[in-house]
Structure formats: C-alpha cells, structure tokens
Structure 1
Amino acid sequence: MLSVSNLIKRYGKQNAVDDISFELGGGEVVGLLGPNGAGKSTTMKCIVGLLRKTSGEITIGGHDHLSVEAKRLFSYIPETPYVYDLLTVREHLQFIAQAYGVRDWKEKGEELLNLFELDDKGDKLGRDLSKGMRQKVSICCALLPDPDILFFDEPMIGLDPKAIKNTRQVFRDLKEQGKTILVSTHLIDSVESIADRIMILKNGKIIGNDTIQNLKAQAEGSDGATLEDLFLQLTEDARD
C-alpha cells in the first residue's frame, strides 16, 4: 500500500531524513517512534506531500505520492490540528464530504461525532474549539471519506482518556477492515497494544523495523523488557 525508497530530506547540509526505505502492507498498523528531532514528522510530511523530498521515491497504492490518484487513498492527521475558524464542526464534515465526493455522509458523520463526544458541539465554530476538540474534529474528518491508508502524527496529544481509548478502538476496527495505518507518537504505551510492527528512527535513520517481539529478541538483556525499555536502549547515545 505504501512504498518508501531511499527517501532523503535535506536542510542545508543536514539530512533530517537520511536515506530510509520501508513498506507498509494492507491491514497493517505500524508505530513510528523516535526521540525529538529523529525525523518522524518530516518523514510523514514528505509522504503526504507537505514537504518536498530531496530525493527518493514514494508510492501510495502504486501511484506517485503527489498524484491525485494517491491523494484519494489516504487521510492525514497532523500533530497540530488545523480547523477553519468560521466553519462549524458539522460544516467541517460537510466540506470534507463535498471535497471527496462522499455521498450520504450525514449518518456516518453523526456516528463519528457521537464516538468522540462532539455531537453537542456540532454547531460550534472552529475558532471556539479547544485543542482537544480540534484534534477530535481532525480525526473525524480524516475517517469520513473511508480512506485506505491513514497517517496519524501524534494523534493522542490533547485527547482526554476516553477519546484515547476510542481512538485505539478505531485503529483496531480499521485494521480489521484491511486499512493501513502509520502512527507517529511519543506515547509508547499508546501503540504497544495495537501495532503489528514498530519502526524506530534516530538521527533520520531507521534503527529498528520489526515486530515488538522480534525487536526484543534482538536486544541485549531484553527478558521482561517493555517497549519503552527497548526504545530507550536502542536510542541511547553511546557515551564513555
């Protein structure tokens, strides 16, 4: 569903993303982990076309990632949710439905609003929403067109505990439907229970790309280790 080959994103002489390659298959939930500045958000923004890559090849569903055909296949939920100040919550859904040609969207839209407890906020303007509510609106808008692949950049930030629980369940439901999910997060425990595979970035390079079980098997002294322990071990700077 997603293929990234030899992706490089350079700022000046510094490679923020340093020649990485990976693939995501259908029905796969992949967690993208890494310390601050590792290149997670940059990688995701290059994939969805918000940043121009320096070199490399990216295809989505066999199409170039910048093509209209590719853009029809995915939704992107940014770390900082953006909403339109003068559109109400329901008008955001209407806008997405019209943009993607989604017919009979109102019933599904109401289900999403109910799921994220926004049903009583439907007439509220974007400018009056808290960050958490903006994030919920962003997720609802991403789910409405029923995309084949979803890119979540720190989706849990700003969400209340119930919304985090609901989002995890959404991930599971999407996986059962054969959807592909790439989720970047600092909250390691939020992906440990749902991810089929973990990719760990450090200094723009992939230093781990496997199931949690296999990554633990490869790590030294990993008996009884949590994903957080493994992450800290793999990303620790070598110091004398």
Structure 2
Amino acid sequence: MLSVTNLVKTYGKQNAVNDISFELQGGEVVGLLGPNGAGKSTTMKCIVGLLRKTSGEILIGGEDHLSVEAKRLFSYIPETPYVYDLLTVQEHMQFIAQAYGIKEWKDKARELLENYELDDKADKLGRDLSKGMRQKVSICCALLTDPKVLFFDEPMIGLDPKAIKNTKRIFRELKEAGKTILVSTHLIDSVESIADRIMILKDGNIVGNDTIANLKIQVAQEEGGTLEDLFLELTKDE
C-alpha cells in the first residue's frame, strides 16, 4: 500500500532524510521510532505531501503520493492537531464527510465521537477545545473517511489514558480490516504492543527495520531486554 524509494529531503547542505527506502503492506502496523531530529516527522510530511521531497519516489496504493487518487486513500493525523475555530465538533465531521463525498456518515460519526467521549461536546466550537480534545477530533475526522492507509504523527500525546486505550483498540480493528498504519512516535511503549514491525531512524537513515524479535536477534540483545533497550542500542553514538 505504501512504497518509498530513495527518499531524500535536504535543507541547505544537510540531509534530513538520507536516501531511505521501505514498503508497508495492507494489514500492517509499523512503528516509526527515532530520537528528536532523526527525520521521523520530515519523512511522514514528505509522504503526505506537506513537504516537497528533494528526490525519490513515493507511491500510495500504486499512485503517486501527490495525486488525487492517492489522497483519497489515506488520512494523516499531525502531531499538533489543527481544528477550525468557528466550526463545532459535529460540523468538523460534516465538513469532512462533504469534502470526501460521504453520504451515510452520521451513524459512524456518532460512534466515533462516543468512543472518544466527545458526544457531549458535539456543539462545542473548535476554539474552545483543549489540546487533548483537538487531538480526538483530528482522529475522529481521519477515521470517518474509512482510509486504506493512516499516518499518525505522535498520536498518543495529549490523550488521556482511556483515549489511548481506545486508540490502541481501534488500531487493532483497523489492522484486522486490512488497513495500513504508520505510527511515528518517540513514546516507545505506546507502539510496542500494537506494531507488527519497527523502523528506527537515526540522523535521517534507517538503522533498523524488522519485527521486534528479529531486531533483538540482530543486535544480540540479552534475553528479557526491552524495546527501549533495543532502541538505545541502535541509536547510540558510535
């Protein structure tokens, strides 16, 4: 569902993303990990078209990532959620439904708002929402379109424990439905229980891309070692 080939993003003479290639299949949840400045958000923003890549090829569902056909296939939830100040929560859902031409949307919107305990906030304006509520609205809007590919940039930041649990449950349901999910985060424990595979970035390079079990074997990690230990080993300075 997602193919990234020789992706490079340069700022001046510095490569923020350094010629990386990877693929994601349907029904796969992949965690994109890395320290601050590793290139996680830059990679994701290049994929969804918010940043112009310097070179390389990105295909979503076999279509160029900037094409209208590709954009119909995915949803993106940014690290800093943006909502419209003068639209209510319910109007956000209506706006997304109309933008994507979704006719039967009200029942699904109601279910999503209930899942994230926003049903009693449906008439609240965007400007009056806390950051956590904005994050929940952003997730609800992304899920309403029933995308085949979802990109989450730090999805758990700002969410309360119950919302985090609900989000993990929804991840599992999406995976079972054959959806493809790329989750960028530095909260390692938030992806360990849901990711089929981990990609670890360091200085714009992929230094690990495999299942957690296989990565532990590759770095000869001691039995009982955690994903955090693995992460620190792969990203340590030489």
- Which amino acid in 2 is paired with 1:14? Q
Q: Which runs of structure 2 are paired with 1:224-235 in the superposition (5 Å)?
A: 224-235=224-235
Matched, 1:146 2:146: yes
Task: Number of aligned residue pairs: give it.
Answer: 238
Aligned residue number for residue 157 of structure 1? 157
Distance in 1, matches of 2:232 and 2:4, equals 26
- Which amino acid in 1 is paired with 2:176? E
Question: Equivalent residue of 2:38, what SS?
Answer: coil
1:220 to partner: Cα distance: 2.8
1:223 to partner: Cα distance: 1.5
Distance in 1, matches of 2:222 and 2:84, equals 47
Contact 1:222–1:230, Cα closer than 8 Å, also in 2: no
Q: Which runs of structure 2 are paired with 1:77-156 in the superposition (5 Å)?
A: 77-156=77-156
Distance in 1, matches of 2:97 and 2:148, equals 16
Contact 1:26–1:179, Cα closer than 8 Å, also in 2: yes
Contact 2:221–2:230, Cα closer than 8 Å, also in 1: no
Distance in 2, matches of 1:176 and 1:106, equals 23
Q: Which runs of 4+ in 1 moved over 3 A?
A: none
Matched, 1:19 2:54: no
Q: TM-score scaled to structure 2, two decimals? A: 0.99
1:221 to partner: Cα distance: 3.4
Distance in 2, matches of 1:62 and 1:201, equals 25
Question: Equivalent residue of 1:181, what SS?
Answer: strand
1:103 to partner: Cα distance: 1.3
Aligned residue number for residue 186 of structure 2? 186
Q: Which runs of structure 2 are paired with 1:210-225 in the superposition (5 Å)?
A: 210-225=210-225
- 5+ long unaligned stretches in structure 2: none
- 5+ long unaligned stretches in structure 1: none
Deviations 1:169-219 (A, max 9, x none): 000000000000000011111110110000000000000000000001111
Deviations 1:86-145 (A, max 9, x none): 000000000000001111100000000000000000000000000000000000000000
Question: Equivalent residue of 1:134, what SS?
Answer: helix
1:70 to partner: Cα distance: 0.1
Matched, 1:46 2:46: yes
Question: Equivalent residue of 1:135, what SS?
Answer: helix
Deviations 1:142-182 (A, max 9, x none): 00000000000000000000000000000000000000000
Aligned residue number for residue 9 of structure 1? 9
Q: Which runs of structure 2 are paired with 1:53-72 in the superposition (5 Å)?
A: 53-72=53-72
Distance in 1, matches of 2:188 and 2:147, equals 25
Contact 1:76–1:142, Cα closer than 8 Å, also in 2: yes
